[in-house]
Every structure is written in C-alpha cells, then in structure tokens.
C-alpha cells in the first residue's frame, strides 16, 4: 500500500464523472471542504489483498501517528491510484478503503472517505512544515515476519480426566515418552535433537525426488513412487465409504478468485502461505485444500434435513507456499495431494457423534502399520467449557494423555482442531491426520439446508483427512521403516503398497517363459509380479530384490518346473516356504488384507526392459 500524507491548511474536492465501471455510489459525498485536515492519498496494491489484515493495521498505525503529531482536525482518505504501478482490482481496493475508514473511526478519530472510482477536482493548501509532506510504503512481505500471537493456555489431560500443567507432566519420569516429546516441542517450545533422517535415503530408493525444474518444494514421482501414490489414493477412496453415510465425489479447479468475499476471508484465516497469481486483472489463489471447490459446489445444492449427514470427497492437488528453509521431502512441500472429506451435519450434536467414528478410523489406520498417534487438540474457550466431556471421551478411547490448547472464541472457523502426530525417528512430532469441527464456513459460503420445520439452517461441517496428505502417508510409512532399521530389523513397506510384491528368479534363461506364465497368473490374481531375466548370478538377483524391498522372492529352476512346488523366500523373516502357485496366491491375499489391489503392470514384467531410474 502506498500512502502520501499531506497536512493541509484547507482542502476541497468535487466529483466530476465516473473513472471506472466499478465506481461506488456517491451518496451525498460528491463534494466537501475541510479545514486543518490530514489528507491521505491512498493506493491499494495487488499484494496487499492476501495480507489485508496486516496492511490495514499498519496503515491505521501510520496514519494515526502522523495525525496526532500534526494535531490535524480529521483524516481525509482519498483514493489515488496514480502513486502505484500495480493497483489491486477495484472491488478489492474498495473493500480495503471501507475497512480502513471503519478502523480509523473506531479509534474515535473524525474521518471522511472520498468516493472511489470517480474523477475529482481538488484544491489543497499545504501547511509547509517538516511533517506536512510525508510518504509511507507498507510492504505485505513484512507480514510474513510477524507470527500471529494468539493468547492461549496449554493443558495435558489424562484419560481419568485430570488436568496437568505441561511442565509438571514433562517432569514426571513415568510419563508417556511420546506424549512427553509432543508436549516439550509444542507447548514448552523446547528444541529437539536434530540430525539427518534415514527416510531420505528411502525416498531416493523409490524415486521420490524434488523436481529441480520447478519451484522449490515440488516433488516428482518416478515409476516405483507412482505405484505408492496410486495405491494410497485408491485405498483412501475405499476408506471414506466405511462411515456408512452417502459420499459424493467431485472434481474441479485448483484456483479461486480472491475478490469473492468467502474465498478472501478463508485465505486470510490460512495466513501468508498462499500461492497467488494474476490473470486478466484478476487476483487468484491456488487452493491449499479441497474446501473452496467443495463448498462452492455444495452452496448450489438443494439440501433437506433428510439428506444429512452426507459427505463430499476429492483428492485435491493443493498448494502451500511453505518457507524454503522448512521444506522436507514427502512431508513439508509446496504442492501436495490432499484426500479431503467434508461431512455436512444437521447440528453440533450430530457432528460430535460422527466424529467418534472418524477418530476410530484414523487410529485404526495408523495402528495397522504398527504405529500409534499422540493427540494435540486445539479448542475454543466456550467449546471447552460446554463440551469437555466430549473431548474426554476422545482421549479415553486412546488410553494415553493428550495435549490440549485452549484459545479465545472467534479466531478460526472451527471450534475444535484435532491433530494426529507420530513421533518420528529423530524424536520430532509430525502431524499426519486431522479433523476439525467447522461452525462458520457454511454461513460464509452460503450453504444451507431446509429443516423439518421448513426454515433454512447452516450445517456444521467436519473436515477430515484420514491419512493426511498422500505425501505425509508415504512419509509415515518410510519413517516406520527407518525406525525398524534403527532397531536392527529389516526396513520394509506393507505388502499392499510395495511396487513389486513378488519377484520370480529363473535359474536359467530357458526357464524365463515359464516364469513369465507364473507372473501373469499372479497379475491376474491382482498382484504385482515380475521376472528378473537378467544374465546375473542368483546371489546378485536375490540381493537386488532385497534392496528393492520386494517381500516375496521365488527361485525357479528345473525342480520347480518338474514338481510345481515353488521355493518362496519371505524377505521379512528370511524363511523359505515350499508352496504351490495357488498357495502362493493365497499367501498374497493374506498379506494384502483389506487393501485394494493394483494389478495393472505399471512396470514391464521383465526386469531387463527397465532403465535404471532409481538409486540406492
């Protein structure tokens, strides 16, 4: 924002004709004469809009500081686009002017705002003292250096309902180790040990890389990594059906217009981590979750109380302008894929009831891979006072203490934000899954349903990420492997997500075709199988399959051809089992469990046909 501040002996103006199509009504403000005013010529710039709260607050501070120092009689806000070469869109600029006027008036200062969007004649007699002519530039980038200070208090709540001060909890040597780490890092802000995580090595193994030809923080998925990605997206699409309510899938755009009040307000709540672009004089933001598209669609639906609850689901490509120094491959990235589910509920009671099922599913999924979450809840003062028993029921399900942060009402759109953290190999809390109880966005986006009495009401919305982002679920799996290796166990991935689940090693080249037939039958049964037909020693082929973390390795020689019994090496235990092909298929089914199959041969069946695209 650009400000030119003139302390005038007198100032007058008169409206002549509209300058732009979006001019505002004059409403009796077409002319004015003022004695001893501080005239503030203001130009609102494009980059002010996503940081408008900060920019307006700084402008009010600068204007009132000069106003009081020169002892002016009033403030005149005068739109003056000519002092910038990057003006904000007119609708955004007018909104900023209006709020700037309101904020100055709230400080008990007389203020007059000249009409926006008009050509005007003005006369000004400057007083000519050292403070009579000043300029100010308010740079939105400064907002990124200012952390939003929200008054809050922390508690640790035990499953029996007792409350502890975080420092007292940490001082107890018998306290749950993982909860203690969460409390130390999040509530007491104690630094962790640091170090180089093993999982980065695993990312390289599977072809998860930064894309150097893009912006910082953008990943690429090479062929093995692509299979990980596809398996996760298919599974979460299956998982959302388990809540037993209708689920509607949608797909839409990834950019939204910041001149739309609901979009702008939602962006302001998100903060400064926005990807922004300008096109055809419009200021757009890339979405950072599926909220924009889902809410924009649902607001146009005709919804009855009989339709509720229902869910809307999308795996949304999302963009967050994370600080470059905080980027971490597969965890903190600038482009992510968010399997975002929103459940629309009649009221808060229904939302709480459904949240127990959500909570259960989130825990079940992480426990299936051998991990446990530690919980960090943020709640508003009034929600905690009125619904503490509900929160306690969530904590009692986990049978471990939870960290609770209590904040004032009205800051965010939600009244409860539940973060599900793992403690990683370097003893850092890492948020994976989440859910929120949203009481405000339905009103903001104009989403209503018809009650049984025939009146219109706004639904309560549950925001849910069962697995977090696809990237963070990959991070969780690789961190789990890292912790296994740190405990002198073989690092591995769950069977259902391994890029290759079964590898067949023919002992002679003339057995390759027979091995191919076995691989094709495994593919037909829904499993990813390949054949290592390279001219290498058996020991080298086995080592290569081990380094690829392939869970089942089949050696195939003349004896296996003759008997039909396969020698199946189980990587996790090192055990070799003698199995028929049907028994091998049954073993694969047992290991696959409830997860969806992805049998399509995304990789050539013959290993010799693959270029070397990953590195150990």
Question: Is residue 535 scored above 70 in pLDDT?
Answer: yes
The pair of three-digit structure tokens given for residue 92, joined into one six-digit string? 């955004």
Please indicate, yes or no, whether residues 411 and 462 belong to a single structural domain of this protein: yes
Question: Is residue 167 scored above 90 in pLDDT?
Answer: yes
Read off the pTM.
Answer: 0.79
Question: Residues 166-193: what's their mean pLDDT?
Answer: 94
Q: What is the pLDDT of residues 44-62, one digit of tens each?
A: 998 888 788 888 988 999 9
The pair of three-digit structure tokens given for residue 101, joined into one six-digit string? 């006027």
Question: Residues 313-328: what's their mean pLDDT?
Answer: 90
The DSSP secondary-structure symbol of 572 reads T
Average pLDDT across the chain, whole number: 92
Bridge partners of residue 316, in order along the sequence: 338
At 193, phi and psi to the nearest 5?
A: -75, -30
Please indicate, yes or no, whether residues 419 and 324 belong to a single structural domain of this protein: yes
Here the CATH number for the domain that contains residue 309 is: 3.30.930.10
Domain boundary among 99, 121, 145: 145
pLDDT interval class at 615 (50, 70, 90): low
Return the pLDDT at 145: 47
Here the CATH number for the domain that contains residue 71 is: 3.50.80.10
Asked if residue 484 is part of any domain, the answer here is no
What's the structural domain count of the chain? 3
Q: What is the pLDDT of residues 103-154, one digit of tens each?
A: 999 889 999 999 999 999 999 999 999 999 999 999 875 544 444 567 899 9
Asked if residue 282 is part of any domain, the answer here is no
At 401, phi and psi to the nearest 5?
A: -60, 160
The DSSP secondary-structure symbol of 458 reads P
Among 543, 550, 593, 547, residue whose Cα is nearest residue 570: 550
Among 605, 423, 457, residue whose Cα is nearest residue 532: 605
At 169, phi and psi to the nearest 5?
A: -65, -45
C-beta neighbour count of 246 within 10 angstroms = 12
CA 223 to chain centre: 25
CB 49 within 8 A of CB 277: no
Asked if residue 67 is part of any domain, the answer here is yes
Please indicate, yes or no, whether residues 429 and 565 belong to a single structural domain of this protein: no
Domain boundary among 92, 125, 145: 145
What 3-state class would DSSP assign to 597?
coil
Please indicate, yes or no, whether residues 454 and 515 belong to a single structural domain of this protein: no
Bridge partners of residue 133, in order along the sequence: 6
Asked if residue 389 is part of any domain, the answer here is yes
Question: Residues 174-197: what's their mean pLDDT?
Answer: 91
Asked if residue 247 is part of any domain, the answer here is no
Strand pairing of 118-126 and 74-79?
Answer: unpaired
Angle between helices 581-592 and 512-524 (to 10 degrees): 40
CB 115 within 8 A of CB 30: yes
Bridge partners of residue 579, in order along the sequence: 566
pLDDT interval class at 323 (50, 70, 90): confident
Which helix (H) or strand (E) segment holds residue 31: the answer is strand 31-35
Here the CATH number for the domain that contains residue 538 is: 3.40.50.800
Q: What is the pLDDT of residues 410-455, one digit of tens each?
A: 888 999 999 999 999 999 999 999 999 999 999 999 999 999 999 9
Q: What is the pLDDT of residues 14-42, one digit of tens each?
A: 999 999 988 999 988 999 999 999 999 99
Round to whole Å and give the CA distance between 450 and 456.
Answer: 5
Domain extent, residue 372, equals 153-213+299-479
Question: CA neighbours within 13 Å on the CB side: how many for 232?
Answer: 25
Question: Residues 204-222: what's their mean pLDDT?
Answer: 93
Radius of gyration of the chain (CA): 31
Please indicate, yes or no, whether residues 19 and 160 belong to a single structural domain of this protein: no
Question: Residues 296-319: what's their mean pLDDT?
Answer: 96
Q: What is the pLDDT of residues 490-531, one digit of tens each?
A: 999 999 999 999 999 999 999 999 999 999 999 999 999 999
Round to whole Å and give the CA distance between 371 and 391.
Answer: 22
Among 103, 100, 130, residue whose Cα is nearest residue 3: 100
What 3-state class would DSSP assign to 310?
strand
Question: Residues 393-410: what's their mean pLDDT?
Answer: 95
Q: Which residues of 457-467 are buried (b: 16+ CB within 10 A; e: fewer)?
A: bbbbbbbbbbb
Return the pLDDT at 146: 45
Question: Residues 550-574: what's their mean pLDDT?
Answer: 94
Please indicate, yes or no, whether residues 420 and 322 belong to a single structural domain of this protein: yes
Share of the chain above pLDDT 70, in %: 97
Return the pLDDT at 117: 94
Please indicate, yes or no, whether residues 370 and 518 belong to a single structural domain of this protein: no
Asked if residue 229 is part of any domain, the answer here is no
Question: Is residue 263 scored above 90 in pLDDT?
Answer: no
The CA-based dihedral angle spanning residues 227, 231, 232, 237, taken in that order and rounded to the nearest 10 degrees: 140
C-beta neighbour count of 597 within 10 angstroms = 16
pLDDT interval class at 196 (50, 70, 90): confident
Question: Is residue 68 scored above 60 in pLDDT?
Answer: yes
Please indicate, yes or no, whether residues 308 and 354 belong to a single structural domain of this protein: yes
Burial environment of residue 12 by CB neighbours within 10 A (0 to 12, 13 to 18, 19 or more): middle
Please indicate, yes or no, whether residues 499 and 437 belong to a single structural domain of this protein: no
Please indicate, yes or no, whether residues 442 and 536 belong to a single structural domain of this protein: no
Please indicate, yes or no, whether residues 382 and 437 belong to a single structural domain of this protein: yes
pLDDT interval class at 266 (50, 70, 90): confident
The DSSP secondary-structure symbol of 373 reads -
Question: CA neighbours within 13 Å on the CB side: how many for 451?
Answer: 8
Please indicate, yes or no, whether residues 43 and 85 belong to a single structural domain of this protein: yes
Domain boundary among 479, 512, 540: 479
């Amino acid at each position: 924002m650009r400000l030119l501040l003139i302390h005038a002996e007198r100032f007058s103006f008169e409206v002549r004709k509209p300058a732009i199509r979006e001019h505002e009504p004059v409403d009796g403000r077409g002319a004015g004469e003022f004695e001893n005013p501080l005239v503030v010529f203001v130009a609102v710039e494009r980059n002010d809009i996503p940081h408008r709260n900060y920019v307006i607050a700084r402008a009010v501070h600068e204007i009132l500081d000069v106003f009081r120092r020169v002892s002016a009689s009033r403030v005149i806000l005068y739109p003056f686009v000519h002092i910038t070469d990057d003006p904000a869109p007119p609708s955004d600029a007018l909104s900023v002017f209006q709020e700037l006027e309101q904020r100055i008036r709230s400080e008990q200062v007389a203020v007059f705002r000249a009409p926006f969007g008009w050509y005007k004649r003005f006369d000004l007699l400057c007083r000519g003292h050292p403070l009579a002519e000043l300029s100010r530039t308010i740079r939105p980038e400064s907002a990124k250096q200012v952390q939003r200070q929200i008054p809050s208090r922390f508690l640790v709540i035990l499953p029996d309902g007792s409350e502890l001060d975080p420092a007292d909890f940490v001082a107890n040597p018998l306290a749950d180790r993982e909860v203690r780490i969460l409390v130390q890092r999040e509530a007491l802000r104690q630094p962790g040990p640091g170090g180089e995580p093993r999982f980065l090595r695993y990312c390289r193994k599977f072809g998860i890389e930064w894309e150097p030809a893009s912006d910082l923080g953008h990943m690429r998925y090479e062929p093995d990594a692509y299979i990980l990605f596809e398996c996760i997206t298919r599974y979460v699409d299956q998982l959302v059906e388990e809540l037993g309510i209708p689920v509607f899938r949608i797909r839409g755009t990834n950019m939204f217009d910041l001149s739309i009040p609901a979009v702008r307000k939602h962006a302001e709540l998100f903060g400064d981590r926005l990807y922004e672009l300008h096109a055809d004089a419009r200021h757009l933001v890339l979405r950072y979750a599926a909220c924009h598209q889902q809410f924009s669609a649902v607001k146009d639906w005709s919804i009855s109380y009989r339709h509720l609850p229902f869910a809307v689901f999308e795996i949304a490509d999302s963009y967050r302008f994370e600080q470059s120094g905080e980027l971490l491959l597969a965890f903190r990235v600038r482009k992510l894929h968010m399997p975002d589910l929103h459940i629309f509920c009649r009221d808060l009671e229904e939302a709480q009831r459904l949240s127990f099922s959500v909570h259960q599913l989130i825990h079940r999924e992480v426990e299936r891979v051998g991990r446990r979450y530690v919980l960090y809840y943020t709640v508003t003062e009034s929600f905690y006072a009125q619904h503490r028993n509900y929160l306690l029921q969530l904590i009692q399900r986990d049978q471990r203490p939870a960290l609770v942060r209590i904040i004032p009402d009205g800051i965010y759109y939600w009244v409860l934000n539940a973060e599900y953290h793992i403690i990683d190999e370097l003893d850092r809390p890492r948020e994976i899954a989440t859910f929120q109880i949203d009481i405000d966005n339905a009103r903001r986006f104009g989403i209503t349903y018809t009650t049984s009495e025939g009146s219109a009401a706004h639904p309560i919305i549950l925001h849910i990420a069962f697995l977090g982002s696809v990237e963070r679920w990959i991070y969780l799996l690789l961190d789990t492997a890292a912790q296994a290796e740190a405990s002198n166990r073989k690092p591995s991935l769950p069977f259902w997500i391994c890029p290759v689940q079964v590898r067949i090693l023919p002992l002679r080249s003339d057995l390759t075709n027979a091995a191919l037939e076995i691989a094709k039958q495994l593919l037909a049964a829904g499993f990813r199988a390949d054949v290592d037909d390279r001219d290498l020693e058996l020991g080298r082929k086995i080592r290569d399959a081990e380094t690829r973390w392939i869970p089942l390795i089949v050696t195939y020689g003349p004896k296996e051809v003759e008997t039909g019994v396969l020698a199946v090496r189980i990587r996790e235990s090192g055990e070799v089992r003698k199995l028929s092909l049907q028994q091998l298929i049954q073993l694969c089914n047992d290991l696959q469990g409830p997860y969806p199959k992805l049998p399509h041969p995304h990789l050539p069946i013959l290993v010799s046909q693959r270029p070397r695209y990953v590195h150990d």
